[in-house]
Amino acid sequence: MASTGERGPAMKKTLGLTGVTVNAMALIAPGAFLWMTYQLQAASADAAGKSTAMDMWTGIVGALIVAFLTAIAFAELARRYPDAGTGSSYYFAEKAFLDHADPKRRRWARVAKFITGWAAHLFYWVYPGVMVAFMATFVTYIAGVFGVNLPIWSQVVIAWAFAAIVGYIAIRGISGSTVAAVVINVIQLAALIVFSVLAILFRVKNPVHVAPTGWYHASGVSIITPHSLSGLLFQSTIAILILVGFESSTALGAEAKNPKRDIPRGVLLSLAIQGLFAYLFEYFAANYALSDKLVSSDGKLSGIGAAAASGAPIGDMAIQLGNAFLGGNGFAFMLIIAFTVALAILGTTLSAMNTGVRISFAMAQDREMPDIMGLLHEKHATPHTALYLMIVVSGIIGTVGVLGGVVTLTAITLASNLGTFALYGLICFITFIAFTGRKEFSGLRHAIVPFLGIAGNLLMVVVIFVIGIISGGDTAKETYIALAISVGWLLVSVIYFVVSSRRRGQAILPAVAKS
């Protein structure tokens, strides 16, 4: 495999453990996803139509288990292959097979890295477009709060403008992105702590000293106790979407000062800080404070029903909490929380772009993508041509998400998620391949953990896609669109792979050398 940075300027090694970690944390972005997904989690129902919202917190725990199994696999591969550079999972896939003692397995190296590269691109190149669409939707909601109804064409303009702004920051270099990530993480975590503390106080000290007609959970113990297996599984399929991104630090190897030490730590630290601390704390607090005092705008729904019907239930709760504890300034408090959400969306989009183009850069250096994707900016040493293309792709995907409403927005999200689960499952399998037969092989870390990770990611795919098709209606339509996008990208990738291989006279599956 060609080394990254072999042509033109080389990437600069500027990142320590903090830089590696915060760039991954920016992609997880608990501030953004609490606001964007709480309504989906509140409205979630199983195949029988029964609400699964009671298992919101335990669903996150289930998703965290799958995420940590996968994170351990990524960390082990990053420790074994510190010279991965920008290649990340793509590089891991090739090296795991090339380093194997059995020549029959070595011949599968190119196929393995192609499949892994396809999954990584489906995830990282669709995901920024999803975030672009979310930003356009978010701005539309905030404008509506002030009585301004944005026409659909203006939402498309917002989507393209946001894609261009994030792309510009990414082109300026990873150092600038890291500074932005640090600021965004500090602001959003501080805001989430304030929100969560006020939410808990709301339950402890009801501001009007009159018990609500009903807390959604009778006690804190109810929040952390599983209520049904189906509810836990359905909530986990949503929760896994808010946890992806911990692995993005593995694409920063070319810019890390000590990749062998800091990349594995960054993978696990980012997930621990954002998942174990931020998400579990804030979701406990939000569920603890939820009661019949939260009423829909038309006054017909309350509690979890109002949360499920609201365009931004966390915004509604922020107004409630601000009015109770901040001198009636609930609207102002909601706007502050909304500002941190906007920053978080910017951070997660920026991190996804940085990760996606670096994998593309590595593949271009390896002649598995067009050479233009492997060009570095003379001044900033960033893959700028790939970033220009990603701005366009993100704008197009964001436009689709805006114009098609909930159906297409959900569909592009599912397409990105399919890439996520495919990539995570492949990495778990590659971990087993990479360590089998070596003296450092650990039955726990290199066999049990990876295969549990494969099972967990496969389960997520089955629950989301199989049940999505069975459910019918818009849910089935969203699932079919997502599958069409995924299969279409696979076909384009296969055609390029085959044509470029024939043009260069390179075997896709080399013959086994005779001993």
Of 173 and 425, more confident: 425
Render pLDDT for 220-244 as a digit per residue (tens, 0 to 9): 999 999 999 888 988 888 888 788 8
Residue 4 lies in a domain: no
Mean pLDDT of the chain: 84
pLDDT band at 19 (very low <50, low <70, confident <90, very high): confident
Residue 455 lies in a domain: yes
Q: Identify the domain containing residue 358 by its residue range.
A: 17-504
Residue 511 lies in a domain: no
Q: What is the mean pLDDT of residues 252-265?
A: 83
pLDDT at 208 over 70: no
Q: Give the amino acid at 490.
A: L
pLDDT band at 177 (very low <50, low <70, confident <90, very high): low
Q: Which of 36-40, 163-167, 372-376 has the highest mean pLDDT?
A: 163-167
Residue 3 lies in a domain: no
CATH of the domain at 402: 1.20.1740.10
Residue 2 lies in a domain: no
- The confidence score (pLDDT) of residue 276 equals 86
**What are the angstrom distances between the C-alpha of 227 and each of 203, 222, 238, 345?**
22, 8, 17, 32
Q: What is the mean pLDDT of residues 36-54?
A: 82
pLDDT at 515 over 70: no
**Alpha-carbon distance 186 to 183, whole Å?**
5
User: 237 and 460 in contact (C-beta within 8 Å)?
Assistant: yes
Residue 36 lies in a domain: yes
- The confidence score (pLDDT) of residue 209 equals 47
Render pLDDT for 421-451 as a digit per residue (tens, 0 to 9): 889 999 999 999 999 888 888 999 999 999 9
pTM reported for the whole predicted model: 0.84
**Alpha-carbon distance 383 to 162, whole Å?**
19
Q: By mean pLDDT, which of 106-120, 373-387, 442-456 is the weakest?
A: 373-387
Residue 514 lies in a domain: no
Of 14 and 321, more confident: 321
Number of domains comprising the chain: 1
**What are the angstrom distances between the C-alpha of 331 and each of 37, 316, 366, 398?**
21, 9, 53, 29
**Alpha-carbon distance 14 to 148, whole Å?**
44
Residue 509 lies in a domain: no
